């Protein structure tokens, strides 16, 4: 939920956004041999990831879609418990 405001504002001004799975980004960094954990290195690796793998930008989910996803996640959690 912390990133939703950023997503909405970027979408409002027409800037495409790609959400990357952190595990995939980490594996990409491992594969390229760049595991230093600094903001600068992370930013460069994510830029390289985007340039080489060309991930697909998807439209921002609506408020209703976000609320439904939260309900589904809560239901799954309750069913597990």
Longest dimension (CA), the chain: 42
How far apart are the C-alpha atoms of 71 and 6, rounded to whole Å?
22
Domain that residue 59 falls in:
4-80
Q: What is the pTM of this model?
A: 0.65
Q: How confident is the model at residue 28 (pLDDT cuts 50, 70, 90)?
A: very high
Residue 31: closest CA among 9, 12, 53: 53
pLDDT at 59 over 90: no
State mean pLDDT over 42-69: 89
pLDDT at 37 over 80: no
How many domains, the chain? 1
């Amino acid at each position: 939920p912390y990133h939703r405001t950023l997503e909405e504002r970027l979408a409002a001004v027409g800037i495409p956004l790609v959400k990357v799975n952190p595990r995939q980004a980490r594996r990409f960094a491992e594969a390229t041999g760049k595991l230093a954990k600094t903001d600068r290195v992370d930013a460069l690796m994510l830029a390289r990831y985007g340039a080489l793998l060309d991930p697909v930008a998807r439209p921002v989910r609506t408020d209703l879609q976000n609320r439904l996803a939260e309900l589904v996640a809560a239901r799954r959690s309750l069913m597990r418990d």
